[in-house]
Amino acid sequence: MPSILAPSLLAGDHAGLAASAAQVAAVGLHWLHLDIMDGHFVPNLSFGPETLAALRRAEKENARSHTSPTSELQVNESKTFFDTHLMLSEPQRYLKAFAAAGADLISIHIEPDYDHASALAEIRSLGCQCGIVLNPDTPAEAVRHLLADVDLVLVMTVQPGFGGQSFRPAMLEKLKTLDGWRRENGWQWRLEVDGGIGLSEASACRAAGADTFVAGTAFFKAPDLAAFARSVESL
C-alpha cells in the first residue's frame, strides 16, 4: 500500500486555517488530518464541524480561482480528503454533523463507552469511510472484534490532546501486531500513526507496518514542505 502523509491542521495557523490547508494542497498532498477535541475525552479544545464546512468552501473557491469558471471537473479533482479524528467522549452525537460538513473519513476512539460497532456502521451509512483509534495504553486486542468492518486503524503514538509531543517507540510492537492480523485476514484497511511523527519516526513505523502518517509539527515547521512530503510519501 503506498504511503500517505496527512498533515495535521492542529499545527497550522488557527487564524488562517484555510491558508494552512492550502499549503498542504500546494505541495501535492491529498489528505488533511483534522483533530477534533472536546475538552473532556482529551484536556484540550480545537475546532468543530463549522470549521470543516468553511474549509470546504475555501477549497472550492481556491480551486475556482485557479481554473476556468465552468470547469467543475477540475474543481472536484482538487478535493482534499478530510481525515477526521474525533477525540470525543460521545462521538456518536456528532457523526451527522461532521459528515454533512465534508468529512471523508471519520475515526472514533475505542476507549469511551458507547456502541462502537453501531457508530462505525452509521459513519458508513452517512457515506464516509470509518476508522477506529487506540490510545497508547490501549492494547491492539481491544479493537480486534471491529477489524473486519473498518477502513482505517489509527494507532496513537502519543497521548492525544496536544501537538508537539514525543513519539513513543513502544507503539511499534502494536503496529506489528495489527499489520500481522491484517495480512492473515486479507483486510485492506489503512494503518495510520499519529503523534510525534517526523521522517525517522515515519520510517520506523513503515517498517512496522504503518502506511499512513499524520504529522503536525514536523510538517508545518519543515524548512521545505514539498521535500518533507515527498520523503514521507516515498517511504
Binding site for ligand DX5 (CB under 6 A): 8, 10-11, 33, 35, 85, 158, 160-165, 194-197, 214-218
> Rounded to the nearest whole angstrom, what is the least distance from the CB of residue 81 to Zn ion in the complex?
14
Instruction: Write down the residue that cell numbers 477540475 correspond to.
Output: 74
CB neighbour list of residue 82: distance below 8 Å, 6 or more residues apart? 32, 34, 52, 55, 56, 102, 103, 104, 105
- Contact 174/139 with Cβ under 8 angstroms? yes
- What x/- string results for residues 186 through 225 when contact with Zn ion is judged by CB under 5 A? --------x-------------------------------
> What is the smallest separation between the CB atom of 67 and ligand DX5, expressed in angstroms?
31
Partner whose footprint covers residue 163, from ligand DX5, Zn ion, none (CB < 5 to 8 Å by kind): ligand DX5
Instruction: Provide the angle, in degrees to the nearest 10, between the axes of the packed helices 49-65 and 17-26.
Output: 50
Instruction: Confirm whether 35 is a catalytic residue.
Output: yes
Q: Which residue is nearest to Zn ion (CB)?
A: 85
Write out the H or E segment, with its range, that includes residue 233: helix 225-233
Cell of 68: 476556468
Choice among 83, 104, 179, 194 that is catalytic? 194
Instruction: Confirm or reject binding of residue 109 to Zn ion (CB under 5 A).
Output: no
DSSP secondary structure letter of residue 46: -
Residue 85 interacts with Zn ion (CB under 5 A): yes or no:
yes
Query: With contact defined as beta carbons under 8 Å apart, do 196 and 170 qualify?
Result: no
Active site residue 179: no
**Contacts with Zn ion, 23-52, as mask; x by CB under 5 A:** ------------x-----------------
Q: 35, 104, 151, 179: which one is catalytic?
A: 35
Residue 160 Cβ vs ligand DX5, minimum distance, rounded to whole Å? 3
Q: In what order do the strands lie in the sheet with 105-109?
A: 4-7, 212-215, 190-194, 152-156, 129-134, 105-109, 81-87, 31-37
Q: Tell me the C-alpha distance between 212 and 6, whole Å.
A: 7
By beta-carbon proximity to Zn ion, the closer residue of 62 and 212 is 212
162 vs 187, which CB is nearer to ligand DX5? 162
- Binding positions for Zn ion, rule: CB under 5 A: 35, 85, 194
